[in-house]
Amino acid sequence: MTTQHLNPTGLLSFPPLTQVVVSSCRILAFIAGQTACNAQFEVMGGNDYRLQSIQALKNLQTAVHAAGATVRDIVSSTVYLRELTPEVAEQFMAAFSVAMDGESFPAHAFTMVGVQALASPDVLVEISAMVAFDA
């Protein structure tokens, strides 16, 4: 599989984001929204956006691995943040930079969306993703 990351001139460019991802692959996996919930449906990270974001990204990694891929195969994701403000976005980006055992989550195309509420009143973050990879 080849994956090409493009940041066209004239568009916003910063390390965690790739504006365009072009992939030639054989398998696509669509990952449902992952939150900071553990297997017992307990929300990890309390009322802390950064901690919940780290857990949601780790849960996303678990789901991607179950598909037979790695987080480097994520080509696109949508991040839903409850009551999005610049400070909340900053907390998510701080988590993004350390989520993989101190390493930054791989750059890919993503959209950050502010929402009024998520599935549980305690959930602050939810992330869905598309993964492209070869078997």
Tens digit of pLDDT at every position of the chain (135 positions): 788 888 889 887 877 778 888 888 789 999 999 999 999 989 999 999 999 999 999 999 999 999 999 999 999 999 999 999 999 999 999 999 998 888 888 989 999 999 999 999 999 999 999 999 997
CATH topology of domain 15-133: 60s Ribosomal Protein L30; Chain: A; (3.30.1330)
Give the CA distances from residue 4 to residues 18, 96, 97, in Å, rounded to whole numbers and listed in that order: 10, 21, 21
Domain boundaries defined on the chain = 15-133
Give one DSSP letter per residue of 46-105, joined into a string.
Answer: TT-HHHHHHHHHHHHHHHHHHTT--GGGEEEEEEEEET--HHHHHHHHHHHTTTBTTBPP
Q: Sign of dihedral through CA atoms 14, 19, 25, 29? A: positive
